[in-house]
Amino acid sequence: MSSLQGYVDRRVLLILQDGRVIVGVMAGFDQKSNVVLSDSKERIYSIDEGVEEIPLGLYLVKGDMIVLIGELDDAVEQAVDLATIHAEPIPPIRY
């Protein structure tokens, strides 16, 4: 298994099948790559406005829904003002 072990207790960014982006601290995972995030927030991207963050708290994401899990570089995160980022939302998964 290309394991998720290295991501436990790290700040991660998840991209989901429907295009949602969620950041949080990976509290745990299992064989099916179901993931538990603590202190999580959804990041909503739009062209017209800066990124909006919606707090979600402790969140369980089903493995099937996950496209990608990325480890966040805190230095880069802190250097970026999300309010200034304007971008299209990530498209949902289609063939």
Partner 1 sequence: MRHNFCPLGSLIFSVFKTLTDQQVTVELKNDLSITGVLKSVDQFLNIRLDSIKVLDEARHPHMMAVKNCFIRGSVVRYVQLPSEHVDTQLLEDATRRGAPT
Cα–Cα distance, 24 to 39 (Å, whole number) = 5
Footprint of partner 1 on residues 9-68 (CB under 8 A)?
13, 15, 17, 19, 21, 33, 43, 45, 63, 66-68
CA angle 87, 90, 92 (to 5 degrees): 155
> What are the backbone angles phi and psi of residue 34, rounded to the nearest 5°?
-65, 145
- Residue 83 as a binder of partner 1 (CB under 8 A): the answer is no
Residues of this chain that interact with partner 1 (CB under 8 A) are 1-2, 4, 7, 13, 15, 17, 19, 21, 33, 43, 45, 63, 66-73, 76-77, 80, 85, 87-88, 90-95
